[in-house]
Chain A
Amino acid sequence: MQLMTRQRSFTLGLATLAIALGLLVVSPGTAEAYPQFQFSTGNSTCTPCHFSPVGGGLIADWGRDEAGDSISRGGDGRFLHGLWVPPEWLALGVDLRLAGGGKSTDAENESLLFPMQGDVYLRGAYKDFSAYFASGACCSARDPEGDNGGVAKFYARAFHLMYRPESASYYVRAGRFYTPFGLRHQDHTMYVRRDNGQYLGEETFTLSGGYAGSDWDVHVGLFTPDPLQTDTRERSSGFSVLYENRLAEDNGSWGGHLKFDIADRNMKYTAGAIGKYWLASPGIMLLAELDGILETFDGAGDARLQTIAHLNATYFITTGVMVGATLEHFDSDVKINSTERDSFALTAQYFPRAHFEVMALARYELISDASHAAVGLLMLHYYL
């Protein structure tokens, strides 16, 4: 009986670890940006590589060329490796991921290998208007004992209609997407995303507009929970403003952001700063973000102040091989003891050819100076 209990617990442990690792890497690969490539690849703005004015999502022709020429060790970055060229008004994409890894906490050590992502992207354009859709797959590694089954669920993760004149730098778009905010890393488990309302599934119904010029960007967004997919995560409404000013030498930028969220039982006021700097020699890209979040509760306690600090450095050892280190700090209530956590992560990304990525991640997290969690992950990523 005890053996059965242990086996059941072990199975449950593996299943739950699958969820944990799934959460780590069911991140949209090309669906979100690699902000490390801004400046370091010679492009000072998001728009040459991405259709989205704030990066992320399907990559444009220029970005696909960069994938073959600057980032990876060759290859044809175009859709279907260039075997078929879609008409100019149409852009397509697919993301596939396979991951394996291990985790260690104070109580356990586990390992697992599993498939985890299959996303499809579609964009059509007519004159200055475009329509974009990205499917989302989530939770492919689900707890098999859950009454809701153990299969992947799909949802319309992002979609929008956008008006952006080709000859101008301003735009307006409306649909489901993250309101422009912060560094916008591709890894949703980073504190600057997870604890800032930009975790997986937290895209909102957003009306956004802005100016993305050569010297500076400004983006504003009004957002509310998705009324069509009420079971996804975002619950708040509000607005955000993001400003980014590029340096005269085109080797970095500084900026700031504000966000206001209101939900049924709480409100959040967020202010933060971002910095990006490309050290051409020795070739190190630095990214930094600091946020302060004042959260108030409706009759459920005093307000709390949260802080998030993020520092990321990446270095291209050679073409196609990028290594990085990330330090993060998050305190969910600065006035209370034992509510903080610190994370140190090392990454190595290998881009052998356009369309292919191998990523290794090792992350150590210290939780309120008392416990720890360590994760090692190897991910194979292919995008069409």
Chain B
Amino acid sequence: MRPTRKTHGLPDHPVATLGLVVALAAMTTTAAACQSDDDRPASFEYIQTAILAPNCATIGCHSEFAAVRTYTFDDFEEAYMDLTGTPCDQARDSDPQTVGLVSPGDPDSSTLTYVLRREDDFGPIMPPDRPLPGADVDLIEQWIAEGARCN
């Protein structure tokens, strides 16, 4: 026997609720038409917090839990060290050395740029389950071009 319940006098809003969702989605699309150029800071603090951690540090990938290929991007200091091969406190005022996934000042020769864009057929694009939007990759490239500082 199924559980039973009393009815009540609250308003019946199913279509209104679903319609609201659709309407708000349409508003989102409309808002997209008012989008501006990318004025986000090309700083590592922003990139790690807003792009790398939510997209790359999933539990099965570059989190502390899995640390695939030993890279962890969920911690600011570790992420910077893994990407540049330089401790953050040594790179605040000077360019890091090129021993990591990025070549400071040269996004075109950086491994990080290569795996994010993956414009050939040598292995999967990163993140493999959900590639980054173009604006996010552009911002990362800008950070590399500006010296890949720990800023």
**A interface residues (Cβ-Cβ under 8 A, vs B):** 5-6, 9-10, 12-13, 16-17, 19-24, 26, 42-45, 48, 62, 103, 105-108, 110, 138-139, 142-143, 145-148, 153, 155, 189, 195, 199-202, 214-215, 230-233, 235, 245, 247-252, 254, 264-266, 273-277, 286, 288-290, 295, 297, 299-302, 304, 307, 309-311, 329, 331-341, 365, 367-368, 370-371, 373, 375
Contact = CB atoms under 8 A, between A and B. Distances in A.
7 nearest CB pairs, A to B: A201-B59, A275-B17, A214-B5, A20-B128, A277-B14, A309-B25, A20-B129
A247 B12 contact: yes
Contacts of A266: 49-50
B49 to A, nearest CB: 5
A17 B128 contact: yes
Interface residues of B, number: 74
B28 A247 contact: no
Nearest to B12: A247
Given A9-B122, A277-B14, A301-B43, A331 B63 contact: no
Nearest to B69: A146
B129 A13 contact: no
Nearest to A265: B49
Given A248-B10, A248-B12, A336-B38, A138 B18 contact: no
Contact of A368 (B57, B125, B135): B135
Nearest to A42: B2
Contacts, number: 266
Interface stretch (B80-88, B89-97, B98-106, B113-121): B113-121
Nearest to A109: B121
A265 B45 CA distance: 8
**Chain B contact surface mostly:** loop
A67 B6 CA distance: 25
Interface in B23-79: 24-25, 28-29, 31-32, 34-41, 43, 45-46, 48-50, 53-54, 57-61, 63-70, 74, 76
A9 B123 contact: yes
B115 to A, nearest CB: 10
Given A250-B7, A329-B25, A337 B35 contact: yes
Given A20-B124, A339-B136, A367-B131, 12 more contacts: A21-B129, A107-B119, A145-B69, A146-B70, A232-B65, A265-B48, A277-B14, A300-B45, A311-B18, A311-B25, A329-B29, A368-B134
